Amino acid sequence: MRILLIEDDVNLCRSLQPFLEQHDFGVTVCHDGEEGLFYILENAHDLVLLDRMLPGLDGLEILKRTRAVHCNVPIIFLTALGSLEERITGLDCGADDYIVKPFALQELMARIRCICRRPVHLTQENRIVFGDLSYDSEQNLLLCKEKKCTLSKREGELFALFLNNPEQTLPRSAILTRVWGPDAEIEEGNLDNYIHFLRRRLKAVDSQLQLKTARGIGYRLTQC
C-alpha cells in the first residue's frame, strides 16, 4: 500500500515516515499544497494523509479539487484545527477521517486499518461497475449485458484501476506504479501492449466504453 503524506511540519514527517515504513507502507512525502495536489491526481497512491494548513494550497482546497474531479482516494486529515465546525467541514467536503493533532501513532494506524477494510467502488458480488461494463474481481470476468470474457490477472488489475477512476486521464507512470509496483522493472511498451489487449476485450463484449489515449500523458476510460 502506498501512502502520500502532505505535511509541512518536517519534524512530524521525520517521525511519521519511518513509523509507516516499519508497517510495510510505501511513503511519499511532500511539504507543499500545490505539489501535494499534483501527486494526488497522479493516482499513484492508495491513501493520503493531509494537513489542513499548508503553503501553496491549503488542505481543504486540495480536498475540494480532488473530489471535484471524482478522484476517490481515501483522505485522512491530520490537523491542529480541531473545533467541531472544522471537523464537520472537513468531513462534509469529502475527507474519510479527521484526526486532531497531537495524536498517538497507534491511533493513526487503527484509522488506516479501518479504511483498508472498507470495500471501494464495489457492488454486490464484488463487481466494479461503470457505464455498461462491470468487472467481477473474484472470477476475473469482464461483463457487458449478456456477454462476458475471462481476463488474465494483469488485465483484471488494469480494468479495476480504470473502472475505479472513470473519465480520468491516468498518467502512464501512475498506471505502471499501481499495477506493476513502484520497483518493477518494466518497459513502457509493455503497457501499450496491455492497453491493446484491453481494447480487444471491450470489443469482444460489445461495450460502448472506450480507452482513449491522451497523447504524451496516459489513458482514460470514457463513455463517449
Phi-psi region of 195 (alpha: psi -120 to 50; beta: other; left: phi over 0): alpha
Buried-state track 196-211, b at ≥16 Cβ within 10 A, e below 16: eebeebbeebebebeb
Q: In the prediction, which pLDDT does 168 show?
A: 86
Q: In the prediction, which pLDDT does 154 show?
A: 92
Q: In the prediction, which pLDDT does 119 show?
A: 55
Assess contact for 50 and 73: CB atoms under 8 A: no
- Residues 62 and 159 reside in one and the same domain: no
- Residues 212 and 187 reside in one and the same domain: yes
- Residues 158 and 178 reside in one and the same domain: yes
CATH at residue 179: 1.10.10.10
Reading the block at residue 202, the C-alpha cell is: 471491450
DSSP codes, 23-47: TT-EEEEE--HHHHHHHHHTT--SE
pLDDT in tens, 129-182: 888 998 988 888 999 988 999 999 999 999 999 998 888 888 888 888 888 876
- Residues 34 and 137 reside in one and the same domain: no
Q: In the prediction, which pLDDT does 124 show?
A: 44
pLDDT in tens, 181-209: 767 777 778 899 999 999 999 999 999 99
Residue 19 has pLDDT above 50, yes or no: yes
Last residue of a domain, one of 88, 116, 144: 116
> Among residues 47, 49, 107, which one has the least CA distance to residue 77?
49
- Residues 109 and 136 reside in one and the same domain: no
86 is in which domain, residue-wise? 2-116
Residue 123 has pLDDT above 50, yes or no: no
Amino acid in the structure at residue 116: C
> Among residues 211, 179, 181, which one has the least CA distance to residue 196?
211
The DSSP bridge pattern shows strands 2-6 and 47-50 to be: parallel
Last residue of a domain, one of 73, 98, 116: 116
Reading the block at residue 189, the C-alpha cell is: 511498451
Q: In the prediction, which pLDDT does 1 show?
A: 78
Count structural domains, the chain. Answer: 2
Residue 125 has pLDDT above 80, yes or no: no
Q: What's the pLDDT band for 41 if we cut at 50, 70, 90?
A: confident
- Residues 165 and 200 reside in one and the same domain: yes
Q: Average per-residue pLDDT in the chain?
A: 88
CATH at residue 99: 3.40.50.2300
Last residue of a domain, one of 61, 91, 116: 116
Q: What's the pLDDT band for 53 if we cut at 50, 70, 90?
A: very high
- Residues 101 and 182 reside in one and the same domain: no
User: Of residues 149 and 124, which shows the higher confidence score?
Assistant: 149
Collapse the DSSP code of 189 into the 3-class scheme (helix H, G, I; strand E, B; otherwise coil) and give the result: helix
Q: In the prediction, which pLDDT does 104 show?
A: 94
